[in-house]
Amino acid sequence: MKQVAKKSDHDKHVVEAVVRRFGPVSRVGIYKLTNFRRNTISSIVRQLLLEGRLVEDGRSNNPLGRKQILLRSNEENGFIVGVEFDDESVVAGVMDLRPRVKRSIEEPTYLKGGREGLIKQLKSCVRRAMREINLDVKPPVGIGIADPGLVDSRNGITITSSTIEFWNQVPLQRIFEDEFGVPCIVESKTRAKTIAERMLGAGQKQDNMIYIDYGTGIGAGIVVDGKLLYGRDCGVGEVGHTHIAEDGPACKCGSIGCLEAIAGAAAIEARIRKALAEGAASQALELAGGHPEKITAWTVLSAARAGDKMCGNIVLDIGSLLGTGIANLVNLFNPAVVVLDKRLGLAGDSLLDQITRTVRGQALTSSSARLAIRIGELGAEAGLLGIGLAVLEQHFEIPALRPPSYMMESAFASDAPLDPAQ
């Protein structure tokens, strides 16, 4: 937690945080929420208005008494930069303080340069996104990175990645803070998307929610009683590496029969290409311009939606496997809603229906009877928005008030061992 030495700075942060969370709110409302002295609130609000951190937002509509001037955060008074990447693409975006994505860029992930090459690309994308919106002269309030690997979020280090082999023990937070001189947060891409879908999308701010991130890897973001779960080593949610099949294929994690290995995007692509090589016909090949190597999992989902029999059967199988993994999570965490990666919606209703049937058939009735299972609402911007929200949460965090030095010295003195002679 960040600290401040002066009570005035602490109170200023409190007022700004209250307005951000509850605004538009009047000075009277701030008084009721903080119990600060009224003249203290007036002084702080005056400062925040002069600094452009707050703006007036009309008057209250209370039927009796004086109409109060309402205050809200100035969402244009600063910006944040988010980066989301995986083994396929890097997306960098500039967001305001709501957050809303004002401008984003995307380019293929450069893997041939190894670890240093990818770090260089991530830095370059941040600079390019800022340059294209002409913000080079003003530093961002923070940078957020949504990383595809297993991330130690507390220390800003990528521990390992099952999709980028060389991406291990990367201290991204330190690297970016040294490079850009502003606070940086590193979060797993799955947890970033979970934050976004919960606060801005299909999660509808539910306090008990599971988000399923689907791609080459499969991850789960888990929110219980309003708290995003991390675990001792920030390893909560690795549902893609849960054991599903005894005789399943080898997984990159070193185990066999993992959900990711048999139902992830790479598994779908391998399955359709094998079927085509054995003489099967499928619209997926036509959608890929006649090139089997260009068929992706998303091609298969789209072909299934269009009525292709081969792809439809693959989708039903994948739905059963994903449903089994999700049913286990439902039994463990009892969510109110499960939100699926929006890209799974490419298959139409068939995949969602199959997942829902499987979950209801395998999970405890007490946990699944009132469970909602939905396709996510946020697409390509989900990771950016989620990491943007994480940066803002840190930026507007109410700091701890550090005691004056003389009080700290007094406290240390009181801990000294007693003199036996006294």
**CATH label of the domain that carries residue 344:** 3.30.420.40
Find the helix or strand (DSSP H, E) in which 91 lies: strand 89-95
Cα separation, 387 vs 85, in Å, equals 12
Cα separation, 348 vs 305, in Å, equals 5
Closest listed residue to residue 161, CA positions, set 268, 86, 243: 86
Q: Quick one: three-class SS letters along 65-88?
A: CCCCEEEEECCCCCCEEEEEECCC
Buried b (16+ CB within 10 A) or exposed e, 212-231: bbbbbbbbbbbbbeeebbbe
User: Is position 411 within any domain?
Assistant: no
252, 218: one domain:
yes
User: Is position 53 within any domain?
Assistant: yes
231, 352: one domain:
yes
pLDDT the model gives residue 6: 83
CB-CB neighbours of 320 under 10 Å: 16
The last residue of one of the domains, among 51, 74, 97, is: 74
Closest listed residue to residue 321, CA positions, set 239, 379, 238, 231: 239
User: Is position 259 within any domain?
Assistant: yes
Averaged confidence pLDDT in the chain: 90
Q: Write the pLDDT tens digit of every residue in 21-52.
A: 898 999 999 999 998 999 999 999 999 999 99
CATH of the domain at 57: 1.10.10.10
The last residue of one of the domains, among 74, 96, 121, is: 74
- For the chain, the domain total comes to 3
Beta-bridge partner residues of 284: none
Residue whose entry in the numeric block shows the structure tokens 């004086």:
66
Cα separation, 195 vs 417, in Å, equals 48
* Structure letter (DSSP) for residue 253: T
Q: Write the pLDDT tens digit of every residue in 164-210.
A: 999 999 999 999 999 999 999 999 999 999 999 999 999 999 999 99
pLDDT the model gives residue 399: 74
pLDDT the model gives residue 421: 41
Residues in the chain, pLDDT under 70: 1-2, 4-5, 63-65, 135-137, 401-422
